[in-house]
Structure 1
């Protein structure tokens, strides 16, 4: 590791000491220095302590990328708590599942955002007793929200914090151990039931440090973070990277291509990670030459196939000195990554080689296996699933199939799991199939990913009706939109008489993928 700090509170204290008045966050009109960020984080921690948050308690965060998210997350961890990021696209019932399973004591939630009041959605989804553990709700304002009942407004944190001396919060921060759990991020599995990935502070810091080393991040960089903070790409490979290296965090709440181009020009952005669709959209933006994009230095992409022509265009048409691809999963975050001197063909046809501190090898059936200090602690309340995923020798079984060349670079060729990636988001068919199975007229379901020019992949659902019943595709779509995040909603609905199966009864999804009709 290039840093000797191993907790987020220690990393923030070091950043305040080393980088001082330098911009830590540039969020529209809000400018926060590293010294100011430490002050705000300490205030958030004091407010949470005043509300009875103890070390090890879980604090859920359900909000888009703004400076509030960074302060809330680091503030919770400064108080010794564990953060539980929630996808902003989740429905109330999906968010409720995470709040209940983690027994979250506090929730930091955005107000009206993308035409939805998330806390109201959560309350509507809850049954009596579901939210008994949740005693504190802090609301982040968005687009001039009016005050709401039953919540603590973000503007009230200073007043709330006044009852707790700064020394108390600093003592909490100093007591945080590198081996303490820093966060629980949920990722779905092939069973359809989401799993809570527990990660220690030393691991959250470790993956950020490894990522920064490969991308050569410095305090001179200004980092536009479009990748959502609720995802490891925006959190651990995002703002934590900036805190470790003194780079400036420039958050973006909603992806809008002209606004991205304007932000790059106005903020002199040098680092821009994101799914290939983000970079392709910028290249294809009408009037792109009207924006000064010359500050761009490093692009990091992944989560989908990366055409070599995209890599070449980014370097020839824009000012990128390096375009990198990476591979990881929530259980290990960053496994492999290209380096800044790799050629376009290597970047396009591989996902790089092992990052510092990680080992990678190819196991049985071509499965990619990973071992190292940054492999998760385990799944929340699920020792059986943990034991199935991490073997006795410490190897994490990724479920992905690949090959490794003589240089140690890997190429992911297939997935043992059925997961597909839509717009940079992992989608697990079993989760969608379980939801579809609740529709009364449906007897059987199968979901696959199919290619899509804009999103990379989208879902196609095959449904078989119960005898004597009729499945209505429009009703299926409406049900999915009500119960699933929008990136999980199948783009296509196919009503079929039967599903192809092998002699043991398993659905032959490869045959479904060969359906070109």
Structure 2
């Protein structure tokens, strides 16, 4: 970085610095709305004043349950300037999922984009949980701010964006800057919840300083330039959209172009009209562009650099993207929420072989090991579990010391749950996963979480959920169900029932009825047998 990175190791200080350095350069383009870097700082400080007027103070947790828009950018930066910890919520969550997380962090407020994809986020947050006194008690005083200006005369806890900002007029302008400068590098910038193998989402704590350090190196290695325009299609509630996208843009003087809903034709239209030069996303993003019959109708020549990442990235995709799309630099990377989203990445100048067949090398300050089940280091080229250590490893899960101890050992090594190899040059190649988690279009899904919901269906006796290959999304959920005697339900009925209770990416696409589930001697279901197509006694569907 050109500036003293140590002096700007919080999001508010970084924003203040970039607003001075890139004052009139475009920071955000969102349809007809544009913000310069100076305008973005002004909007963030206005938001901070309004947050302070609501009683939000340093360390308070505030949720954002909304898609990628300029208001998400402004709201998050404003909350950071007020000293708050942002808790991003997956827009595909349903009400109970969101309320449970907001209750766990004891959120003071939540910002929503009501009506996105036809869902009533404001009413879902405000719905009473009469069957769960703990959630209801934790959310009694929760304030809901609708970023689309909705408001309620019946409930003073629901306010529109305009009314929210108007409340900040009572707070001196200097108070927002004072609060912004009081934030320290060790303060939490976000708590991002990620599914776990136990089925309960776990809140990954992300402090300001170490995360900014990581993405200063990330943007430099990737080859980002001031003035690049970055189409952020990964959601801001995900480290890929939030850190590798939004924050990286601001750190390196890029223009953020947020995308609320991915549609390949719309993406190509925006690339052409906004002269997009940077993209990032899971493999499905690039598959969609490559397979679009309208690809040759748009001028995509401005595209310069791109990145993709997943537990396992198809080699064929990398080869096609490098040859059929106009990127000068297309890389693969690897990471997980627990290491702020990134641990390794390829470098400019890497051979096509390295880029197509590895996830690159560790970022500066990050260490990697590949170990056997006993934790002993394995020789070059031998597969084992990947361990990660560095300042980019989370200090832990929110108020969950037991899960933290299971994930991070006393030496600071994070157990990734992924199987990989290291070559002689330090390039990591992910080959498999130890965990049962699978990924649907870039979103991780815990089978245990889906199983817990489906197990409540009156027609289900036993079940197991696995990920099965899908050409577009990489993997999708499939449920193997042992029916309950005397109760009938079709596969379509079970899927519809699940869709009412789960985010859409968690809903099984298929249900297969079986007489029994494969188990070992201790009674544990053998999911590897299901994935391998072991014989089962089937029931009619």
TM-score by length of 2: 0.92
1:289 aligns with 2:296: yes
Q: Provide the residue aligned with 1:114 in structure 2.
A: 117
Which residue of the other structure, out of 19, 22, 47, is the alignment partner of 2:22? 19
The answer on whether the counterparts of 2:186 and 2:209 sit within 8 Å (CA) in structure 1 is: yes
Return the alpha-carbon distance in structure 2 between the equivalents of residues 135 and 451 of structure 1. 41
Aligned residues: 514
Q: CA RMSD in A?
A: 1.7
Consecutive unaligned residues in structure 1, runs of 5 or more:
none
* Higher RCO (CA-CA < 8 Å; seq separation 6+): 1
1:10-159 correspondence to structure 2 within 5 Å: 10-124=13-127, 126-127=129-130, 129-130=136-137, 132-141=139-148, 147-149=151-153, 150=155, 151-159=158-166
Corresponding residue SS for 2:28:
strand
Q: Provide the residue aligned with 1:347 in structure 2.
A: 355
Return the alpha-carbon distance in structure 2 between the equivalents of residues 42 and 265 of structure 1. 33
The answer on whether the counterparts of 1:43 and 1:157 sit within 8 Å (CA) in structure 2 is: no
Task: Tell me the alpha carbon deviations over residues 143-162 of structure 1, each in whole angstroms, 9 at most, x when there is no partner.
Answer: xx765444221123432111
TM superposition outliers: structure 1 runs of 4+ over 4 Å: 145-149
Q: Provide the residue aligned with 2:378 in structure 1.
A: none
Which residue of the other structure, out of 417, 423, 428, is the alignment partner of 1:410? 428
Change in Cα spacing, 1:503 to 1:516, as seen in structure 2 (3 Å) is closer
Which residue of the other structure, out of 501, 508, 516, is the alignment partner of 2:519? 501
The answer on whether the counterparts of 2:420 and 2:429 sit within 8 Å (CA) in structure 1 is: yes
Task: Tell me the alpha carbon deviations over residues 304-333 of structure 1, each in whole angstroms, 9 at most, x when there is no partner.
Answer: 643434333323332211111111111002
Corresponding residue SS for 2:220:
helix
Q: CA offset at residue 77 of structure 1?
A: 0.9
Return the alpha-carbon distance in structure 1 between the equivalents of residues 48 and 227 of structure 2. 29
Q: Provide the residue aligned with 1:317 in structure 2.
A: 324
Q: CA offset at residue 211 of structure 1?
A: 2.0
The answer on whether the counterparts of 1:276 and 1:304 sit within 8 Å (CA) in structure 2 is: no
Q: Provide the residue aligned with 2:264 in structure 1.
A: 257
Q: Provide the residue aligned with 2:504 in structure 1.
A: 486
Return the alpha-carbon distance in structure 2 between the equivalents of residues 252 and 516 of structure 1. 42
TM-score by length of 1: 0.96
Corresponding residue SS for 2:186:
coil
1:187 aligns with 2:194: yes
The answer on whether the counterparts of 1:349 and 1:411 sit within 8 Å (CA) in structure 2 is: yes
Q: Which moved more, 1:6-15 or 1:351-360?
A: 351-360
Q: Provide the residue aligned with 1:399 in structure 2.
A: 417
Consecutive unaligned residues in structure 2, runs of 5 or more:
374-383, 536-541
Return the alpha-carbon distance in structure 1 between the equivalents of residues 247 and 95 of structure 2. 28
Return the alpha-carbon distance in structure 1 between the equivalents of residues 323 and 406 of structure 2. 45
The answer on whether the counterparts of 2:107 and 2:139 sit within 8 Å (CA) in structure 1 is: no
Corresponding residue SS for 1:378:
coil
